[in-house]
Chain A
Amino acid sequence: MTDNRFVNRSELIGILVLAVFLVVVLPLTLDVFRLNLVAKYLTYAFVALGLVICWGYGGILSLGQGVFFGLGGYCMAMFLKLEASSVENTKIQSTPGIPDFMDWNQITALPLFWKPFNSLTFTIAAIILVPGIFALIIGTAMFKRRVGGTYFAIITQAVAAILTILIVGQQGYTGGINGMTDLRTLKGWDIRPDHAKVVLYFFEVGCLFVCIMIAQFVRHSKLGRILVAMREKEDRVRFSGYSVANFKIFAFCIAAVFAAIGGAMFALNVGFMSPSFVGIVPSIEMVIYTAVGGRLSILGAIYGTLLVNFAKTSLSETFPELWLFGLGGLFIAVVLAFPNGLAGIWGDYVQPRIDRLISSRKPKPEGWTDGSVADGAPAE
């Protein structure tokens, strides 16, 4: 049990394989349009990654991750929208220089809370801090009172519903149900052409690996072990003198910040943000990505997100009227046949064969990987 090593050998190989897949294979085989779609899928991978820590390890099921995805995305979109609403771009409006949807709603001056978003530095700080602090508040209010499990999940759903209604209702300030569309430039750099999409893709993949490393670190640190212990027997951890609430709040905040980074990446890559990512349905969808990938596996969550979204796109392109049934069938099949998701398939079927293959060549097998003990712990 080495605490200082946060990536063991088999995990390192897994991360390298993912890196080669995302950095070399996909950009070489896909055209820019499909690559941009992958960039969109990967924004959800940030959320799934957060859910692995929060739900997989901490046992805290949050059905409201869309809230944080949305907050991060809206922060980014506000900055981009302000830049796109320069006086010359908006001269046909009654009040030039403010975002178009404000003009449609008879708002004549930029609201005070929009003003700081003229600064990119402030925006980046806000993308991390706004959702982080919001999660801290929700987490403190819930976990300090020992609200957990199903009740917590329901409350996060309620928060998602409330935020959606707020955004839709305050359309003069938020763009309402249309969202913020037509985002164009980042500090004068056009984010719409093909070469910009490629640059943004690599930037996003870079950020994703930073988050993967943070997740790995959390998982292998003492903190990660406490999270697992808490999930399995909360009272025992509490009786041992740990403050269970603080650890839960931390896991929830990390998941929130990851989701927010994903949201910001979404606004950049897709070029708009709308309340349809904030509500209950997208939040549940994000949990499904994690479930399909395997909620105990950091890399599984990323493959799960890619697989589900790829299936969604290709099924809907091939069967525009029936695709939802196909997707539903896929979910049911995965959950019934492989309760641990893609990572479960890998761990149960593929990995042992590879190990056998290696050990048949090398008569002296190396010690079992450290992580597999914690990973293999069955969930009730």
Chain B
Amino acid sequence: MSDETNKGLLSPLRRKLLMGMAAIPAVTMLPRASFAQAPATSAVNTTGLAVTDTEVTVGILHSATGTMAISETGSIEAEKLAIEQINAAGGVLGRKIKFIQEDGASDWPTFAEKAKKLLVNDKVAAIMGCWTSASRKAVLPVVEQYNGMLYYPTFYEGLEQSKNVIYTGQEATQQILAGLNWIAKEKGAKSFFFIGSDYIWPRTSNKIARKHVENVLKGKVVGEEYYPLGNTQFNSVINKIKLTKPDVIFTDVVGGSNVAFYKQLKAAGIDLSKQALLTISVTEDEIDGIGGENIAGAYACMKYFQSLDNANNKAFVPAFKKMWGEKTVIGDVTQAAYLGPWLWKLTVEKAGSFDVDKIAAASPGVEFKGAPEGYVRIHENHHLWSKTRVGRAKLDGQFELIYETADLVEPDPFPKGYQ
């Protein structure tokens, strides 16, 4: 939109410049100067994307409004930070990244509509976006049809792989198996109770966890319960937990339900310093709402915690807080969202082109050494090789790192023996 108004202002301006003799050298020199640094647009953009000699446009597509805004705001902030840092470091192939932000409004069809708008109208070179599986499922046919590139940050259920998507979060086996192995070994856990929100991600994750518990760990699942999204009554399941006395409560309850769940757990006298609880859905963002005192002692299994002690993270956390305020917290998905623009930049530079086909082909093997979680690499299946970590929630809402895998865990979106 602002582009059109700019053009309207520029053309009379340009005419005036051309009329003045003094301006001629300046007009001819300017483009040459920028050409000297960056490869010609015609060479790096053969499919009509929004790439000029000085700028390249990408889309940011998350929910800034609606129920998911509380989770997705962190992703928006991380992506904007990454774009700002990349621009400060010289941009991509000599071009500054400009972003167009669209609001998915926590509504899956809106996500599809906006994705289409970004690809068809704005011709963005890549989209950083989506959060819930439902929004990704809605956007997927659009990016495949119009041959776009989506960088998707959330840990998710797997069973998906697309030329047009890079999954910067963990798929289910990557996230879950190492955590279960750890808790079985460390706590001698044999019996598990599963509690989840009722949609595809918890159901698939629990299916994988159940197969692993029963077939690999030779343990037992003593209960498996699902509650609708937004549910706030967990008393009946808490009674069942008290009756079955599982070694581990394994939860993938999402969103606002977590607040009720942990408060009721505490009120029912279940002490998380004695009763092991492993969650794969609570990050620092959720603890903000739950309250550290209600969840302290619980274990979380994912790939990033704000408290990670490495050089990249020590630079990332202050930069994030400087841009978005001292009080912000950084969860697993926020960090994964931060990877999106960086991985795209690295891939574009490897491919030497903004063309989506070339980026899709060049993605496998791209390494990002500056990731706050530590070194990551893109697998042939467009997911990331990354470490899995277990953290323990503290009173101040941060996690204390308890365990991390020695090596990067291979992403396996179609796990054999777990389906």
How far does the alpha carbon of A313 sit from the alpha carbon of B207 in the complex, in Å?
39
Contact A171 B200, beta carbon cutoff 8 Å: yes
Contact A104 B138, beta carbon cutoff 8 Å: no
Taking beta carbons and an 8 Å cutoff, which residues of A are in contact with B? 31, 33, 36-37, 40, 92, 94, 101, 104-106, 165, 168-169, 171, 176-179, 181-182, 192, 270-272, 274, 276-277, 313, 316-318, 320-321, 323-324
Cβ of A179: which chain B residues have Cβ within 8 Å of it?
108, 134, 137-138
Contact B228 A165, beta carbon cutoff 8 Å: yes
Interface set, chain B 87-146, CB cutoff 8 A to A:
101-103, 105, 107-110, 112-114, 116-117, 120-121, 133-134, 137-138, 140-141, 145
Cβ of A31: which chain B residues have Cβ within 8 Å of it?
120-121
* 0/1 string, B354-396, CB within 8 A of A gives 1: 0000000000000000000000000000000000000000000
How far does the alpha carbon of A276 sit from the alpha carbon of B137 in the complex, in Å?
14
Contact A40 B204, beta carbon cutoff 8 Å: no
* 0/1 string, B71-98, CB within 8 A of A gives 1: 0000000000000000000000000000
Chain B residue at minimal CB-CB distance from A101 = B200
Contact A316 B105, beta carbon cutoff 8 Å: yes
Chain A residue at minimal CB-CB distance from B414 = A92
Decide yes or no whether B159 CB sits under 8 A from chain A.
yes
Candidates B102, B117, B133, B207; contact of A33 at CB < 8 Å = B117
8 intermolecular pairs with C-beta atoms under 8 Å apart: A104-B200, A106-B207, A176-B200, A178-B108, A178-B199, A272-B112, A272-B141, A274-B134
Taking beta carbons and an 8 Å cutoff, which residues of B are in contact with A? 1, 64-65, 101-103, 105, 107-110, 112-114, 116-117, 120-121, 133-134, 137-138, 140-141, 145, 157, 159, 198-200, 203-204, 207, 228-229, 414, 419
Chain B residue at minimal CB-CB distance from A178 = B134
Contact B102 A317, beta carbon cutoff 8 Å: yes
Cβ of A94: which chain B residues have Cβ within 8 Å of it?
419
Cβ of B102: which chain A residues have Cβ within 8 Å of it?
316-317, 320
Contact A324 B199, beta carbon cutoff 8 Å: no
How far does the alpha carbon of A171 sit from the alpha carbon of B198 in the complex, in Å?
9
Chain B residue at minimal CB-CB distance from A170 = B198
Candidates A105, A316, A318, A324; contact of B203 at CB < 8 Å = A105
Chain A residue at minimal CB-CB distance from B157 = A104
Chain A residue at minimal CB-CB distance from B142 = A271
How far does the alpha carbon of A31 sit from the alpha carbon of B133 in the complex, in Å?
30
Name the residue among A33, A37, A101, A177 with the largest chain B CB count within 10 angstroms: A177
In whole Å, how far is A217's beta carbon from the nearest beta carbon of chain B?
Answer: 33
Contact A104 B159, beta carbon cutoff 8 Å: yes
Contact A323 B65, beta carbon cutoff 8 Å: yes
Closest 4 CB pairs of A and B: A320-B103, A178-B134, A33-B120, A182-B141
Residues A272 and B65 in contact in the complex (CB < 8 Å), given A106-B207, A171-B200, A177-B134: no
Contact A270 B112, beta carbon cutoff 8 Å: yes
Contact B109 A171, beta carbon cutoff 8 Å: no
Name the residue among A181, A274, A276 with the largest chain B CB count within 10 angstroms: A181
Chain A residue at minimal CB-CB distance from B132 = A177
In whole Å, how far is B98's beta carbon from the nearest beta carbon of chain A?
Answer: 15
How far does the alpha carbon of A324 sit from the alpha carbon of B1 in the complex, in Å?
20
Known: A179-B108, A274-B108, A321-B64. 18 other contacts (CB 8 A): A92-B414, A104-B157, A171-B198, A171-B203, A176-B198, A176-B200, A177-B134, A177-B229, A178-B133, A179-B134, A182-B141, A270-B109, A272-B112, A272-B141, A274-B134, A316-B110, A320-B103, A323-B65
